[in-house]
C-alpha cells in the first residue's frame, strides 16, 4: 500500500508541477510567463507578459494537449500598449484573440523543453487578421 501511495503522489506531482516559459515571437517580441495545469495531462493555462520594439503587454491562453502526441492547441487573448507583432502588418491592433497551434521539440534535455508555435490572430478593433509565431523554452517538470 505505501508503494501505491508513493507512486500515486509521484504521478500527481508531475501533473501538478508548474513551468516557467520564455519565448521570442508573437505577440510582443520577448515574452516570459508561467504554465500551470488546469486538468493534469490534458489542459494547461498560460499567463505571460512581454516587451518588444513597438509594444508591451500581456495575455492568457488555455492550451489543450492532444493525447499521445507532443502537439497542443489553444485559444487566448492579449492586450498591449502598441500593435501586436504579426504578419501582415496593416490593420494590427493593441488587443486581440489568438489560436495557438504548438508542438514540443523532442530534445534530450532534463527539465528543459523547447516548443514552436503558430498563432493565427484576430484583432477586433480594426477587424483584421494576422499570423504570428513563437519559439520558446520552458523550464520545470
The pLDDT, as a whole number, for residue 70 is 92
Cα Rg, the chain, nearest whole Å:
17
Closest CA to 52 of 20, 85, 76: 85
What is residue 2's predicted lDDT score, i.e. its pLDDT? 60
What pLDDT does residue 107 have?
86
Burial-class residue 39 by CB neighbours within 10 Å (0-12, 13-18, 19+): exposed
* Whole-number pLDDT of residue 125: 80
Rounded Cα gap, residues 70 and 9, in angstroms: 24
What's the confidence (pLDDT) of residue 16? Answer: 52
18-140: CATH topology: Porin (2.40.160)
Mean pLDDT by 10 residues, the chain (141 residues): 58 62 92 89 92 89 94 95 79 84 90 94 87 93 71
Name the DSSP letter for residue 58. E
pLDDT at 50: 92
Q: Where are the domains of the chain?
A: 18-140
What local confidence, expressed as pLDDT, does residue 54 receive? 82
Look up residue 133 and give its three cell numbers. 509565431
**Residue 16: in which H helix or E strand, if any?**
helix 2-16
Residue 140's pLDDT is what?
A: 84
Distance CA 31, CA 40 (A): 24
Closest CA to 47 of 39, 57, 130: 57
pLDDT at residue 139 in the model: 92
Q: How many residues does the chain have?
A: 141
Q: How far is CA 17 from CA 27, 50, 140, in A?
A: 26, 23, 7
Amino acid at each position: 500500500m505505501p508503494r501505491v501511495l508513493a507512486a500515486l503522489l509521484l504521478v500527481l506531482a508531475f501533473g501538478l508541477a508548474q513551468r516557467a516559459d520564455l519565448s521570442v515571437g508573437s505577440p510582443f517580441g520577448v515574452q516570459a510567463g508561467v504554465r500551470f495545469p488546469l486538468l493534469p495531462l490534458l489542459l494547461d493555462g498560460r499567463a505571460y507578459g512581454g516587451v518588444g520594439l513597438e509594444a508591451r503587454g500581456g495575455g492568457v491562453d488555455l492550451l489543450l494537449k492532444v493525447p499521445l502526441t507532443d502537439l497542443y492547441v489553444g485559444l487566448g487573448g492579449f492586450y498591449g500598449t502598441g500593435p501586436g507583432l504579426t504578419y501582415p502588418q496593416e490593420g494590427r491592433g493593441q488587443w486581440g484573440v489568438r489560436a495557438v497551434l504548438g508542438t514540443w521539440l523532442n530534445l534530450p534535455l532534463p527539465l528543459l523543453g523547447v516548443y514552436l508555435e503558430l498563432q493565427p490572430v484576430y484583432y477586433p478593433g480594426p477587424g483584421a487578421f494576422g499570423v504570428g509565431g513563437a519559439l520558446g523554452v520552458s523550464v520545470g517538470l
